[in-house]
Structure formats: structure tokens, C-alpha cells
Chains A and B, each alone.
Chain A
Amino acid sequence: MKAILTDVTRCIGCEECVEACRRVNGLGEERPYRWIRTEDRLSADRFTTIVRKDGYFIRKQCRHCLEPACASACPVGALHKTPEGPVVYDSEKCLGCRYCMMACAFGIPRYSWYSPVPYVRKCTMCYETRIRKGLQPACTEACPVQATIFGERDELLKEAHKRIAENPNKYMPKVFGETEVGGTLVLYLAPISLDVLSLGLPVGDDPLPLRTLPAMMAVPPAFIGMGVLMGGLYWVIERRNRLRSEQSDAKDDKISDTDSDQKEGKE
């Protein structure tokens, strides 16, 4: 699968990638804060940004997870993972529930809040415009110092581990994105921890879709089980009542059965 490797130590923060992204994706002028409402400046009009931490420049963009939570969460499958790797969005299907935005562990999808016909917006790795034509994404092409490069994920991982081995003092001994939430296509080499890229509490290496899977697997058995249980209870109680009324008819008994019923109903 196609992937991107960003070496934080090489980035000079020139934001050429941001400009290239804006050009290729035809993004509009950035809106004033009122409409962006985030600190990292990612927005419906900006798919990639440079986050500053400890004097380093960290390029933030969609991580294109191997097991994307957004695609798993979308009720209509408006987000899906392409065979080439990028996670893309189909605005024709979207109904605007914003569950994808809640599900993303990196807080990447953004919404065009200012529009009466709003859509979810995020980096698509230039899937339609470039990857399908065999080109690399605009951001990696624009980078003047090759701080962010494009390639096959396996090869980039190999390259990343090679760089760590050559300069063990320069980097943290791990490739960010290799294992987080099941692995992402956008990989980072950094001298500092990149927790700044994730949102909220740490989530570990398990893919997020696995968290809802057990509950979803339980749906069909729960549905049928509840039906059988309720149907069975109805039948049993109905039959018992009928037998009892026949009995009482026969014996002309005056025993009322409401008390015993009441106790059972509370379960």
C-alpha cells in the first residue's frame, strides 16, 4: 500500500506542502477563526498543517489508518479505504452525522460548519487527482528538503528503520504510525514523542473498529434471542393462564392469580 514518511528532523516548516495541497485540492481561502474553531488550523479548507512542538515542525494530516475508525463508523459507508491505501470520502452518500469525526483517534476529519450544505473534509492523499494517475501526492512532491516522502509502506518502513539504525541518537527508537491503532499509512520519524498528533486519551495498538465489533456481532443473536424469549414467555404465561382459568371454571375456584403474576413481572 502507498504511504507517506515524514521525517520531523528534516522539516524546515516552510509550509510548501500546505500551499501545494491548497492548489491541487482547490481549497478556498482559509476562514477566520470563527469558522475554523481549532488551534491546529486544520479545517475544511486546509487538509495539512504544520504543528509546532519543542521547536520542531510536525506535519499533521490524515493518517490513512490500515483499519480506519471513520470508515467503520460511517453508517452509510461514505468513507472507505481504497485498494491503494488512501481513505476517501464520498459526499454523495454522506448524511452529515459526524460520527466519523467523533471516531477518529487523531481528530482529523473537519466539517464545513459555515455552509448550509456542509460536508466532511480531510486529506485524501490526492487519491482522485494524482494517485490514480500514478503520481505522488502534491505535498510530498512539493517538499523542498524531502522531509516528507511517498512510496510503498513496506519500503518506507525499511527506510525509516534504516535511518534510526544509522542515527540512533537523532530519533526516538520507533516509527510512529507503524503500530498505533493497527498501523497507519502516514509514518513519522521524530526525536520527540508525537502525542501531540493524537486526540484525547492514548488508545494503544488495537484497531478501533475492533472495539465495536463484539457489540455488533452480538446484534443478530440478541435480536433473535429476545424474540424467542419474549415469544416463549408469552406462550408459557398464556398457556398457564388458560389452564388455570379452565381449572377454576371446572372447580369453580375463587383463587385469584394476580399476586403471583405481579411477582414475575418485575424481572
Chain B
Amino acid sequence: MMATTGQTSETPVRRARLTRLCRFKAALWFIIGAAAVLAVLRFLHGLGATTALTDLTPWGFWIGFDVMGGVALAAGGFVVAATVYVFHLERYHAIVRPAVLTAFLGYLAVIGGLVFDVGLPWNLWHMIIYWNPHSPLFEVGWCVMLYTLVLSLEFAPVVLESAKHPTLARVYNLLKKATIPLVILGIMLSTLHQSSLGSLMLIMPHRLHPLWYTPILPLLFFISAIGLGLMMVTTEALFSAYLYEHEPEMELLKGLGKAASVVLWIYFVIKMVDLSVRDQIGALFQPSFESVLFWIECLLSALIPAMLLSIRRVREHPIGLGIAVGTGVIGFVMNRIDVGGLATVAVTGTRYVPSWMEVVISCGVVAAAALAFFFVAEHFHLFHAGPVRADEFRHALPEWDPGTMVVRPDPYTWGPARYSAMAVLGAAVALALVPDYALSGGALRDQPVTAPGFGDRIVLDGNRTGLAVVFKHTDHVSRTHNCALCHHMVRPEEQATGCSHCHRDMELETNIFDHSLHAKRVEQGPGCSACHDPGFPPGDASHTKPCLQCHTKMVPSGATIKPKSAPWIGRAPGYKEAMHGLCIPCHKQKASAEKPALWRCATCHPASGTPAFDPLRPDERGNMEH
């Protein structure tokens, strides 16, 4: 089996072909580097600064892809183990190890993803001591923990078989003997949590769109996990064959493909029957975001791969098989993302698009799992043919050459891969330099900053209506004592907060309209009904007489509230710009040879030890009295 090792790697042809793997690895290292930098941001600044999650969409890409998708993608481990050990289909033995490794790394990736998504990851172990058996998530958590343990024991023999130490050898023998019980325990645990991931969503009929919400969601999740497991094992076998330049074991893979097609047809039929039983067929043909999503998902996950895999010629050709199972894998990951979040967003009337940081961190977790897979493939007896040409892949991991400051994954590889570590470092520095307002969605536009002492009155288009009023700035400062009320920290162009945000209720004192004065004026005459329609509550603006009906010449010339069309008026500057505009010009001016510190950021923004600058109380900054 291990015929093509050793000497063949010295031929130029071999060297040239190594680039495929090395380039792929370089890309993975790059993604991991970017994700690592973002991970720092995530844990320093919290979920709010790095994700697009909101109070009304608290679950997003990390749950849908990393957790729901990751667990489903790792289903191949139990499916193949069952095929070989329980059903005694020994000829599939060749793919047991890669499948179990994929599953093991998949679960580690799920846990890795959870560490980012969960707010307090250092409390994840609490599930062990605090029990709530009513919660599907509690059950999923336990199963994932136990199954990861089982998978590590199932996989341990691969690592231990070359160990010489007698104790390790004894452990190896023990684990070998325990294979069947471990496999059966793994199947039992997988059955539970693959389906319970569907049970998770049963408690939210208000969120999950009716096309997906069904009491048999756990069953659908379980069946699709089997189908996806078969297709993922096939994908992984084809892809590693492509990268490692060996012939894919098509004899086995076409068998898996055939089995997958049967499972997919069953899944599709159950899904359609379920839709008709729940009387939701009509919803399939209503033009809505969800129906389009459902169609795409159904086609990709079930219909297209099921049909392709039913054709013998497609199944038997590596490219045809790859396209079929690749479509299915994408479709089912999409299914998990839909159920885990995408199909709940529009229903609740909110909006969620994952931030680029969420996506990069997810990719980083997957990339780490992939690199771990390659590591095992190159060091242990993973594939049937033995360790993948260990001699050839000896240089596959980056080597740092201090003399030339160059990182070389392989002396013969193509240029960009050679500099992969440098690229990661560069990207890390570049990302670290990105200002935080850019990270939190939408960079600020350059705004001319009005210097302090600009006077009491400025012309302002507060409501973004194209109409401007003369705005008494100092008056508002003295009334509110809170700059951040109008100048938002990082959201200078928001649409919601304009003048009308405070000036909305006519009877409130803050309004420019003097309610008590009007009440006094109409007291003798028509009373409240002069303005308020008596049949409706006083707050109902649509049944209240507009000002212009009495005040035909509403504003006297020269009045500060006279609206005028002012398309040239910009928006209020952001908080930071406003503050810096106030402080920096004077500080710069007054900084001299004796006081150079006056014109340094750290003078006002101390690193640590001193009280932090509170943006909401800018005038109570005790540490800034210079």
C-alpha cells in the first residue's frame, strides 16, 4: 500500500505538485492569523463591538454555522462507525479513521465556536454542576461533552498505536477492545443531540417561520444529520485525495453516495408530507423572503443532491460525486443556519447581517480544524495507505529562517505561500490599527469641526428632513449636561435621534410648544377641543389640529425656530469629533516647550490606574484638569 514513498518525492514533478497543499495551508494560516487578532477584540471589547447581534436577534452566524452546522457536519463519525462496526460492512474500514477524525475535530471546532459566541465561556463547565433537565440545550451540552470524549477515545488508538511505552501499549489494547461499546455509545449520544438541536427551536414558535417550525424538527434534524454525515465524509475523502494527490477510493465513496441518496429522498418526502400535514404548502408559493430561502435550501440540501446521487454515472465519477455531495453539504449547512437564526430574523421584525468579524472568526475556527486534520494525516496512520508520504510533507509546516526574515513552508513552493506568516503578521498589525468606530459598522465621514466659542446659534437639520432650524447650542448644553445625548459615540449619522427624539410630546416641558400657555388662552373659549378631537386620546397626533391651522403665519421673521430649506447643512459630528474639536485646538495652541505633554493623547486618556474617561459625563472628568 505504501509503495510511493521515499525516493519518488525527490523528483521535480512531485515538488511542483506539492504547491496545491502548501498554498491551501498558507491560506488557512492567514485566516487563522486574522481570526486571532479579531479574537482579541472580541474578548477585550465584548460581543457588541464585534458582532451584529442585537437584543432581538441574540443568536446569529456563530450559532447557525459553527454550532448547528458544525455538529451536523461532524455526523459522519457516527454514521461511518455504525456502518463498519455495527452493520459489519468491513470494506468501509478504510474511511473510518478520517471520518472519526473529522467528527472529533468538528466537535472541537463547535466548542471553539461556542467559546466565541457564549458571553461567559469560562462558565461553560457550569452545565456539569448546575442541571436543568427541562432545557434541550442542557441535553445538547452534555451530549456534546460526552461525545467529544467518546470520539477522543475512539480516535486515541491512531495516536497510540506507534507508542512504544508499555503503559501506552496497554491503554491502546484496552481501547481497541472497547471499540464496539464506544461506537454504540457514540451512536446513542449522537442520536440524542443531533435531534435535540432541532428541539432547541421548538420553544420559539414566535420566532421560527412556520415553514421550518414543526414538532418533528428533531426527527428531520436526525435524518438530515445522517445524510449530511455521509456526504461530508465523501467530500472530505475527495478533497484530501485532491490535496494529497492520491486516487480517491471511488469504490467506497460511490457506495456512500448511494446510501446518501436514499437518506435524502426519505428526508425530502418527510419534509413535504410534514408541510402538507401542517397546511403550509401554500406558504411555499407566497412571495416572501422565507419562501425563497426555503426553496433554495430544499433544492440544495435534498432535491439536487438526491437526484444527482441517484444517477449511477454521476456517482461513479469523482467530479460528479464531488459536485453532488458539495451541493448537499452547502444545502444542509444553510438549513442549520436558517433554523438557527436566518428564518427567525424577519419574523420578529428585526434585522441581522453577520458582521465581517463574525465571519472571519468562524472561518478561523474551521481553518484551525483543517490544519489539525492535515497534521494528523501527515504524522499518523490516518489513511488506509498509511501516513501520507511522510517524507514529502516534512516541510509542510512553516519554518522561520532568521537570516533572511522569510518564512518557508517549503523551499520549493510558490512565492505567496512562502511569505504566509509574514502576511499574517502584516494583517494583524493592519487590523489592530483599524479605529474602533470603523469596526462598529460604517466609518465616519469627515466633518468640519466647529471650534469652541462658535456662539450660541447654529443652523441644524436635526430631523434629517431637509429643513433646518436655528439651534441654541449652549442652551441645550446647559439643559442636558450630556453631550452624548445628541453626539453619539459611534453613530453620528443615525436616523432615529434628531430634534424630534426629545421634542416629541407636546405637553412635555422640553417642547418648544408651550402647552400651558395655550391651555390658558383657550380656557375661556372652546377649551381643549380647540385642538384635541374629543373622541380620541390627547396624545394621538393624527386627531389633533396642526399648528398651522391657527398660526397661518406661523413664525415671525427672525424667530429662531423658522424652518428653512437647507440642503447644504450637514449632520451633527460624532461625539469624539465634537470633543476633540473642542479640546485639541486649544491644547495644541497652549502646548509649549515647557508643557509638551499638553498636546499628547495620553495626557487626557490615561492608560490605567486613573479613573477612566466617562463619555457620558464629559464635564466630570477629574483626571483632566490641566
Contacts and interface: CB of A to CB of B under 8 A. Distances in A.
Given A57-B539, A93-B130, A223-B188, A212 B120 contact: no
B135 A38 contact: no
22 contacts: A34-B491, A42-B55, A55-B541, A57-B539, A72-B203, A75-B132, A77-B135, A94-B119, A102-B58, A109-B55, A110-B55, A116-B43, A116-B44, A118-B46, A199-B348, A201-B206, A202-B206, A203-B205, A216-B134, A219-B192, A227-B185, A230-B188
B184 A38 contact: no
A215 B196 contact: yes
Interface string B520-549: 000000000000000011111101000000
B98 interface: no
Contacts of B89: 261-262, 265
A233 interface: yes
Contacts of B203: 69, 72-73, 102-103, 208-209, 211-212
Contacts of B134: 72, 209, 212-213, 216
Interface in B159-194: 180, 184-185, 187-188, 191-192
- CB-based closest 8 A-B pairs: A96-B119, A113-B48, A55-B540, A215-B199, A200-B206, A55-B539, A75-B138, A76-B130
B152 interface: no
A107 B196 contact: no
Nearest to B543: A55
Given A33-B496, A52-B539, A234-B85, A97 B205 contact: no
A161 to B, nearest CB: 23
A27 to B, nearest CB: 13
A168 B184 CA distance: 65
Given A33-B491, A76-B126, A238-B88, 19 more contacts: A32-B488, A32-B489, A55-B540, A75-B132, A102-B344, A103-B203, A107-B56, A118-B46, A118-B47, A199-B206, A201-B347, A208-B204, A213-B134, A215-B198, A216-B134, A233-B87, A234-B184, A261-B89, A266-B259
Nearest to A181: B206
Interface string A186-200: 000000000000111
Contacts of B53: 113
Contact of B137 (A52, A75, A117, A226): A75
Interface in A210-250: 211-216, 218-219, 222-223, 226-227, 230-231, 233-234, 237-238, 241
A34 B56 contact: no
B148 interface: no
Contact of B126 (A52, A93, A99, A258): A93
A157 to B, nearest CB: 24
Interface in A145-184: none
Interface in B116-138: 117-121, 123-124, 126-127, 130-138
Contacts of A78: 130
A74 B206 CA distance: 18
Given A208-B205, A209-B203, A230-B82, A200 B124 contact: no
Contact of A74 (B91, B132, B347, B491): B132
B262 A200 contact: no
Nearest to B489: A32
Q: Give the most central of A76, A102, A222, A238: most B CB within 10 Å.
A: A102
Interface string B253-265: 0010011001000
B440 interface: yes
Contact of A226 (B188, B206, B491): B188
Contacts of A57: 539
A29 interface: yes
B22 interface: no
Q: Give the most central of A56, A109, A110, A234: most B CB within 10 Å.
A: A234
A96 B184 contact: no
A230 B497 contact: no
A266 B226 CA distance: 11
B132 A199 contact: no
B86 A230 contact: yes
A93 B203 CA distance: 21
Contact of B195 (A35, A39, A222): A222
A223 B59 CA distance: 28
Contacts of A99: 135, 137, 200
Nearest to B484: A32
B497 to A, nearest CB: 7
B87 A215 contact: no
Q: Give the most central of B43, B126, B185, B536: most A CB within 10 Å.
A: B126
A1 interface: no
Contact of A114 (B48, B86, B497): B48
B45 interface: yes
B21 to A, nearest CB: 33
Interface of A: 13, 29, 32-39, 42-43, 52, 54-57, 69, 72-78, 93-99, 101-103, 105, 107, 109-119, 198-203, 208-209, 211-216, 218-219, 222-223, 226-227, 230-231, 233-234, 237-238, 241, 258, 261-262, 264-266
Contacts of A96: 118-121, 123
A36 B136 CA distance: 29
Given A212-B203, A241-B88, A265-B87, A13 B494 contact: no
Nearest to B482: A29
Nearest to A30: B616
Nearest to A114: B48
A95 B129 CA distance: 12
B291 interface: no
A34 B127 contact: no
A35 B132 contact: no
Nearest to B89: A265
Given A199-B207, A200-B206, A98 B87 contact: no
Interface in B202-245: 202-207, 210, 215, 218
A98 B496 contact: no
B494 A33 contact: yes
A102 B46 contact: no
Contacts of A54: 537, 540
Nearest to B91: A258
Contacts of A56: 537, 539
B524 to A, nearest CB: 25
Nearest to B139: A219
B498 interface: no
Contacts of A261: 87-89
A226 B130 contact: no
B592 interface: no
B386 to A, nearest CB: 25
Contacts of B440: 34
Nearest to B349: A200
